[in-house]
């Protein structure tokens, strides 16, 4: 009954409900802004149905044959209309030809869509050799040395980075041997779907859930003190145990808010963007590589759907950490506004501290094992993510260590509160 009343305080708050709806609308707006590429993205599904996702020798030959057939058909159409033929589909889009053809309305809308699909298929055909070349020349130890030089790392810090990348090296060899990099996926340089989904969309959802959680956790923990009823509410032994109920309700509500925000936003995202046939493609696909030309190297051979669920799970755990941090601050400071402000200060401090660490100290790397650093790089969770966080169990160690520490801290504050004179 008490837990229900505490939960009711949260769901009846117009600020919390208003922000939740506002955040959902904002996420829908982000998806809408990106929706212009959805039709071009759909061009991949027919290719996958025709050739499969694995571009080994057999898959590559199927794709090449299909592309040459479509190019021949287009050239026949083009020759009958303008007398022109094209060696590549992309030649159709040369400015000196394309705009005059569009203005003359020689081609129908459907025919223009067909050449666009052919140009996209051509991009996938030409990308296969680029991907193979990139991965055959990929040397993660060179990447490590480049990162060490770039950030000026020395001594123990540099040696630790080298050790971590030495562990990554066999994984790269396994990835290439398994041909994970040769599975078709939405082309990263054309669509940038990985960055949009796991950096932009997940990044906003992380901060949206965090804001809501800090607000309602501080609100219910400090409710009696801010409404001048603490002397009544905490005057009995059961009353002192009320903080346990507040903690459990905060964790439950935080999990519920996070899961609901993720579920609704992702449901809308996947309704707009069709991932059919691609759910079981390895997340280390070379076709995901974006304009920076940096490959995505996951620590394990996981599919896109597995990676998505792993990311969602880690988001939920991070929000539980934020509940615990806010709870501990609220047990120290009996003011919701100050707690909210102090949480922001601590978050910024968590991001700033690594920058003041000596470049030759192992502490520089240890300070990156924090939820504040973790949530800033959702795009590279569970994979090679730069010299400071490339560690096989970085995510697991970070959330586990902080979860244990914060649970013990919360338990200490609750026990202290049971004996405290208010």
Distance (Å, whole) CA 263 – CA 277: 21
Query: Is the pLDDT reported for residue 85 higher than 90?
Result: no
Q: Quick one: average pLDDT of 38-43? A: 91
Q: How many CA atoms lie within 13 A of 35 on its CB side?
A: 12
Query: Which has more confidence, 417 or 251?
Result: 251
- Please give the pLDDT value at position 216: 93
The DSSP code for 88 is: S
Query: Is the pLDDT reported for residue 227 higher than 80?
Result: no
Span 88-114, pLDDT tens digits: 888 888 877 777 777 778 888 888 888
Span 305-352, pLDDT tens digits: 999 999 999 999 999 999 999 999 999 988 889 999 999 999 999 999
- Please give the pLDDT value at position 232: 59
For residues 222 and 336, the answer to whether their CB atoms sit within 8 Å is yes
Query: How many residues make up the chain in this entry?
Result: 422
Picking from 380, 192, 174, 381, the residue whose alpha carbon sits closest to that of residue 288 is 192
For residues 328 and 413, the answer to whether their CB atoms sit within 8 Å is yes
CA 127, distance to chain mean position in Å, is 24
Distance (Å, whole) CA 395 – CA 66: 43
Token reading at 412: 């200490």
Distance (Å, whole) CA 195 – CA 201: 9
Token reading at 329: 């601050």
For residues 191 and 120, the answer to whether their CB atoms sit within 8 Å is no
| pLDDT level of residue 282 (50, 70, 90 thresholds) | very high
- Please give the pLDDT value at position 245: 83
H or E element at residue 376: none
For residues 387 and 148, the answer to whether their CB atoms sit within 8 Å is yes
- Please give the pLDDT value at position 80: 86
CA 403, distance to chain mean position in Å, is 21
Q: Per-residue b/e over 97-134, b at no fewer than 16 CB within 10 Å?
A: eeeebeeeeebeeeeeebbbbbbbbbbbbebbeebbeb
Q: What is the number of other CB atoms lying within 10 angstroms of the CB of residue 280?
A: 11
Share of the chain above pLDDT 70, in %: 95
Distance (Å, whole) CA 126 – CA 20: 44
Distance (Å, whole) CA 390 – CA 157: 13
Q: Would you call 182 helix, strand, or coil by DSSP?
A: helix
Q: Quick one: average pLDDT of 124-147? A: 92
- Please give the pLDDT value at position 185: 96
Query: Is the pLDDT reported for residue 229 higher than 70?
Result: no
Q: Quick one: average pLDDT of 167-195? A: 94
Distance (Å, whole) CA 188 – CA 110: 26
């Amino acid at each position: 009954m008490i837990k229900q009343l505490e939960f009711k305080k949260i769901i009846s708050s117009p600020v919390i409900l208003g922000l939740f709806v506002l955040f959902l609308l904002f996420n829908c707006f982000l998806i809408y802004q990106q929706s212009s590429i959805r039709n071009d993205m759909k061009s991949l599904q027919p290719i996958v149905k025709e050739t499969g996702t694995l571009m080994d020798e057999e898959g590559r030959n199927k794709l090449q044959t299909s592309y040459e057939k479509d190019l021949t058909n287009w050239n026949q159409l083009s020759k009958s209309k303008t007398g022109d033929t094209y060696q590549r589909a992309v030649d159709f889009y040369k400015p000196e030809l394309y705009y005059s053809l569009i203005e003359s309305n020689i081609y129908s809308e459907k025919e223009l869509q067909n050449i666009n699909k052919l140009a996209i298929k051509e991009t996938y055909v030409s990308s296969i050799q680029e991907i193979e070349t990139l991965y055959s020349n990929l040397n993660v130890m060179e990447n490590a040395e480049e990162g060490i030089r770039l950030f000026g790392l020395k001594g123990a810090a540099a040696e630790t980075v080298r050790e971590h990348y030495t562990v990554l090296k066999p994984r790269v060899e396994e990835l290439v041997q398994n041909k994970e990099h040769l599975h078709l996926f939405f082309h990263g340089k054309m669509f940038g779907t990985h960055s949009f989904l796991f950096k932009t969309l997940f990044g906003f959802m992380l901060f949206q859930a965090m804001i809501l959680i800090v607000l309602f956790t501080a609100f219910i923990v400090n409710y009696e003190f801010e409404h001048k009823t603490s002397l009544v509410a905490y005057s009995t032994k059961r009353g002192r145990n009320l903080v346990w109920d507040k903690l459990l309700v905060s964790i439950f509500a935080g999990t519920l808010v996070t899961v609901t925000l993720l579920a609704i936003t992702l449901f809308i995202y996947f309704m707009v963007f069709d991932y059919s046939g691609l759910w079981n493609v390895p997340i280390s696909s070379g076709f995901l590589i974006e304009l920076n030309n940096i490959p995505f190297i996951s620590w394990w051979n996981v599919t896109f759907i597995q990676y998505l669920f792993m990311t969602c799970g880690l988001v939920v755990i991070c929000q539980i950490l934020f509940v615990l941090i806010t709870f501990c601050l609220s047990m120290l400071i009996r003011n919701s506004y100050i707690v909210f402000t102090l949480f922001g200060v601590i978050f910024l401090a968590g991001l700033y501290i690594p920058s003041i660490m000596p470049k030759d100290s192992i502490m520089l790397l240890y300070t990156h094992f924090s939820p504040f650093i973790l949530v800033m790089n959702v795009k590279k969770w569970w994979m090679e993510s730069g010299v400071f966080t490339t560690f096989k169990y970085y995510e697991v160690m970070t959330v586990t260590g902080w979860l244990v520490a914060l649970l013990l801290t919360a338990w200490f504050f609750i026990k202290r509160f049971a004996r405290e004179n208010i």
